[in-house]
Amino acid sequence: MSVVIETRGVGKDYGEFRALHDVSLTFSEGEVVAIVGPNGAGKTTLVNVLTGLLKPTRGDVLFRGHSIGGIGPVRLAQMGMARAFQLVQVFPQLTVFDAIAAAVVSQQRRSLDFWRATRSIAAVRERVAEVAAIFGLESRLDWLASYLSQGEKKLLDIATAFALDPTVILLDEPTSGISSSDKRGMMDTLMEAARKAGIKTLLLVEHDMDLVAEYSTRIVAMTEGKVLADLPPGAFFADPHLAATIVGKPLGQLRA
């Protein structure tokens, strides 16, 4: 498999506090990698480094062989990596159409007036309709984002990341704020959307270990800013010490 993201001895300090310690990882095409760990493990810092929001204090981060430390999410999206955040980022006074169109226009690097571009250019309209259909939002295109349910807002937030046409996408707690009964439906939608959109690699930060077990092909477990394990799900969940360290309770209680 072709490596798309690589971290080489990455460390990140905040003053005297060391948030990441010598993190070396590779992420390849065809993988769904779950990044897991207790609060304070360094997951958020790692994700921010991977997506160009933070420049590492030490080491380097490569995307398809190019150093991306601190380049920012806009430039990174233009290179082919996008991120959907844990907290819903949609603008409440934009319609669903305009929220998705903003990402489409950004990725196409159009210099035309935004409002004219989104409504008058056929390619933009077609791409918006295509993305909305993937996420089941086609009947909501004229709705203000503020009128959507929490689950629909989450889908819209993720849809805008997909509209950037990435080959790699990072989903930060995609099921947070969603009822337990709806989580698998959300994950099924995301997996199908990734397939339809041609996403090559999917990185997932997720606390629900049942979802991690079901949907990931590989698990990177972190604690105290270090990589504790990098294993396929079967091997990860076969180790009771890992479950106790990462989840805070024995493996047998995960589904309790």
Sign of CA dihedral 172, 178, 183, 187: negative
pLDDT digits (tens, 9 = 90+) for 44-59: 899 999 988 899 999 9
Question: What pTM does this model have?
Answer: 0.85
Q: Say whether 163 sits in a helix, a strand or coil.
A: coil
Contact residues for 79 (Cβ-Cβ < 8 A; gap 6+):
63, 64, 66, 68
Examine the pLDDT at 31 and tell me if it is beyond 60.
yes
> Is 61 a domain residue?
yes
> Is 193 a domain residue?
yes
pLDDT digits (tens, 9 = 90+) for 219-238: 999 999 999 999 999 999 99
> Is 35 a domain residue?
yes
Q: For strands 17-28 and 226-231, give the pairing.
A: unpaired
Q: How far is CA 84 from the centre of its chain?
A: 5
**Are residues 229 and 179 located together in one domain of the fold?**
yes
Print the domain residue range for 134.
Answer: 91-147
> Is 130 a domain residue?
yes
> Is 158 a domain residue?
no
**Are residues 71 and 96 located together in one domain of the fold?**
no
**Are residues 187 and 236 located together in one domain of the fold?**
yes
**Are residues 174 and 221 located together in one domain of the fold?**
yes
**Which of 126, 204, 194, 110 has its CA nearest to residue 159?**
194
> Is 219 a domain residue?
yes
